């Protein structure tokens, strides 16, 4: 094969790869485009008519922010948003601390039962939450709380505490920590630093990629969680966004423009979180692929 023919083949290969990437990107982006465009269409009849054509993806007809205003006015969106922000923020923050500390202990310390504990963590990854949801519900319904109260139902802590520890997050941190060079830690030990000081001042600053990965994955899991809030929350006081959206979606007559506006408002924080942590998230994914 000549040099020119090789260049033509390489160019065709790149074009085919770009085309495949474009189709894959369109597959994932078109539903988002449809949702955001529909959220700004104020004519319900026009919106339903556009669903049968490519106009569903185009900002045609009467446009405005009426649907968003109606969502704010007719639903407890603000309270549900603040509830979700509190529950997810505390869960992710405490989860990063707790899971990373356990992973660091597994990666660097040698103690009796270490291998067994690591095996249990790995085994727990394959257990779906649906398998333990009902037993967990029975347990939290009997647990005491401050003030002599028994039972955690219909509260913030019932949506936070059971999800702080996460086996997959522990495993991600463990894999990252075992790949870190030990030179800096050994030098710090020689200088008299304790393990917690090394973990906090040396290991965690070097772990931004895996922290971003864990934060994004846990944020997505908790932000969109519906099963557990349905089981433990009663009323609007402690309801999160997925629960509030399910209640709103079940109301009749159903206004699809407002439904899309609600969905768009729920989706925006996830897009913002991913864009903020994108650089470290991609870096962690690339490093994992190289190690694999």
Last residue within a domain, chosen from 64, 96, 119: 64
pLDDT of residue 284: 59
Cα separation of 129 and 67, whole Å? 35
This prediction has a pTM of: 0.87
If one counts every other C-beta atom within 10 angstroms of the C-beta of residue 104, the result is 24
Enclosing domain of residue 194: 75-291
**Whether residues 31 and 115 fall in one domain:** no
Q: What's the confidence (pLDDT) of residue 283?
A: 64
Residue 10 lies in a domain: yes
Please tell me the total count of domains within the chain.
Answer: 2
Same domain, 144 and 227: yes
- Left if phi > 0, otherwise alpha if psi is -120 to 50, otherwise beta: which for 151? left
Same domain, 234 and 143: yes
pLDDT score for 281: 66
Whether residues 20 and 95 share a domain: the answer is: no
Q: Tell me: do 174 and 31 sit in the same domain.
A: no
State which of 64, 83, 115 marks the end of a domain.
64
Q: Judge whether 6 lies within some domain.
A: yes
Residues 18 and 104 in one domain: no
| pLDDT on residue 160 | 97
Beta partners for residue 150, in sequence order: 144
Q: Is 276 among the domain residues?
A: yes
CA distance readout (Å), 11 to 24, 81, 121, 209:
20, 48, 46, 33
Co-location of 44 and 116 in the same domain: no
Domain match, 149 and 216 both: yes
Tell me the C-alpha distance between 71 and 114, whole Å: 51
Residues 93, 253 contacting (CB under 8 angstroms): no
Domain with residue 107: its CATH number is 1.10.3720.10
* Residue 243 placed within a domain: yes
Residue 164 in any domain: the answer is yes
Judged by DSSP in three states, 131 sits in helix
Q: Please say which residue of 39, 64, 89 terminates a domain.
A: 64
Question: Is 221 part of any domain?
Answer: yes
**Looking at residue 12, what is its pLDDT?**
83
Write the pLDDT tens digit of every residue in 74-128: 889 999 999 999 999 999 999 999 999 999 999 999 999 999 999 999 999 999 9
53 with 176, same domain: the answer is no
**Measuring CA to CA, which residue among 215, 211, 214 is closest to residue 200?**
211
Q: Is residue 69 part of a domain?
A: no
- Asked if 31 and 164 sit in the same domain, the reply is no
| Predicted local confidence at residue 149, as pLDDT | 82
Eight-class DSSP state of 150: B
* Judgement on whether residues 33 and 106 belong to the same structural domain of the protein: no
pLDDT, one tens digit per residue, over 124-146 is 999 999 999 999 999 999 999 88
pLDDT score for 289: 44
pLDDT tens string, the chain, 292 residues long: the values are 566 677 777 788 888 889 998 899 888 889 999 999 999 999 888 888 888 888 889 888 889 999 999 999 988 999 999 999 999 999 999 999 999 999 999 999 999 999 999 999 999 999 999 999 999 999 999 999 887 788 899 999 999 999 999 999 999 999 999 989 888 898 999 888 899 999 999 999 999 889 989 999 999 999 999 999 999 998 889 999 999 998 888 888 888 999 999 999 999 999 888 888 877 766 655 555 445 4
- Whether 202 and 243 map to the same domain: the answer is yes
252 in a structural domain: yes
Residue 14: per-residue pLDDT: 87
């Amino acid at each position: 094969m000549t040099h020119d023919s090789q260049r033509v083949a390489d160019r065709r290969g790149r074009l085919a790869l770009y085309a495949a990437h474009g189709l894959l990107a369109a597959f994932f982006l078109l539903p988002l485009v449809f949702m955001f465009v529909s959220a700004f269409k104020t004519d319900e009849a026009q919106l339903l008519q556009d669903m049968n054509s490519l106009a569903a993806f185009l900002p045609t007809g009467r446009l405005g922010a009426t649907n968003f205003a109606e969502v704010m006015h007719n639903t407890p969106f603000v309270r549900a948003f603040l509830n979700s922000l509190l529950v997810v923020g505390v869960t992710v923050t405490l989860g990063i601390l707790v899971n990373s500390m356990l992973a660091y202990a597994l990666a660097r310390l040698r103690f009796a039962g270490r291998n067994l504990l690591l095996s249990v963590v790995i085994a727990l990854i394959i257990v779906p939450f649906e398998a333990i949801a009902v037993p967990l519900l029975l347990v939290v319904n009997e647990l005491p709380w401050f003030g002599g109260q028994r039972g955690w139902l219909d509260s913030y802590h019932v949506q936070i505490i059971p999800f702080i520890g996460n086996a997959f997050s522990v495993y991600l941190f463990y894999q990252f920590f075992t790949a870190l060079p030990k030179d800096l830690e050994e030098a710090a030990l020689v200088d008299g630093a304790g393990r917690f000081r090394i973990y906090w001042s040396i290991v965690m600053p070097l772990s931004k990629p895996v922290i971003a990965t864990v934060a994004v994955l846990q944020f997505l899991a908790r932000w969109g969680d519906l099963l557990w809030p349905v089981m433990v929350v009663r009323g609007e006081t402690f309801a999160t966004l997925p629960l509030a959206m399910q209640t709103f979606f079940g109301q009749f007559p159903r206004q699809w423009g407002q439904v899309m506006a609600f969905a768009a408002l729920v989706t925006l924080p996830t897009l913002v979180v991913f864009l903020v942590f994108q650089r470290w998230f991609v870096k962690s994914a690339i490093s994992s692929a190289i190690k694999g």
